[in-house]
Amino acid sequence: MVVLAAGLALTGCRVPGSENDSGLTRGAGLRNNTHADVSDRKRCNFPSSYPTYLPWLRMQVKPPSPLKDQFGGDAGLFWSAPRSSRWAYVVFRTESDLPGGKGEPTGLEYGGVAGQYHLGSIGFTIQWVHAAEGPCNLQALTLGVKNNDGSVSVEEGKREVLRIARSLRNKGD
């Protein structure tokens, strides 16, 4: 199990017959690791935008539909990379509790909000905090790496997560 962010965990099970044989089952890829009671919290909506670029796909190849999962009150879209890739996954999530914190400015806006870049222990994240407080105020896009062994430089990770963020389009577009 790989912890993605406060309370989120990535679990491993094979998706039989999927194009993307990454070892993740549909609907079980992300799970709530905190067991929080969400009856008194607002459930977040899934992000309305999808990336048109994923670093492990050849150019002109449309990304597959994501796995969708709700965990606690949060909602996430998940794309897993094939085993042969240096990348592990991309997850785009809307969260209700996790504060965005101060990060490095990206010069990229989403929903009218400036993105902040964060380097985590397992990947590269851009966060957009839509309100100082309140439910579902944070959206985060994370590009995960398979091994945190330096095979992906910080510059390359930043470049790729920004490229994914720039490719975000509303699902109907």
Calpha distance 1→33 (Å, rounded): 10
In a domain, 38, yes or no: no
Higher pLDDT, 39 or 1: 39
pLDDT tier at 77, thresholds 50, 70, 90: very high
In a domain, 57, yes or no: yes
The answer to which of 16-20, 66-70, 74-78, 82-86 has the lowest mean pLDDT is 16-20
Percentage of the chain surpassing pLDDT 70? 68
Calpha distance 67→25 (Å, rounded): 9
In a domain, 35, yes or no: no
Please report which residue ranges of 42-92 form alpha helices under DSSP H.
none
Higher pLDDT, 42 or 87: 87
Calpha distance 84→144 (Å, rounded): 14
pLDDT tier at 56, thresholds 50, 70, 90: very high
Q: How far apart are the first and last CA of the chain?
A: 35
In a domain, 40, yes or no: no
In a domain, 129, yes or no: yes
In a domain, 87, yes or no: yes
The two counts, helices (H) then strands (E), for the chain are 1, 12
Enclosing H/E stretch for 169: strand 168-170
pLDDT at 169: 92
Using one digit for the tens of pLDDT, what is the confidence trace for 125-145? 988 887 666 678 889 999 998
pLDDT at 172: 66
In a domain, 10, yes or no: no
Calpha distance 81→88 (Å, rounded): 5
Calpha distance 15→61 (Å, rounded): 21
In a domain, 140, yes or no: yes
Average pLDDT over residues 71-84: 91
Q: Domain limits at 72?
A: 47-170
Give the chain's domain count. 1
Give the HSE-up count for residue 10: Cα atoms under 13 Å, Cβ half-sphere.
Answer: 23
pLDDT at 35: 37
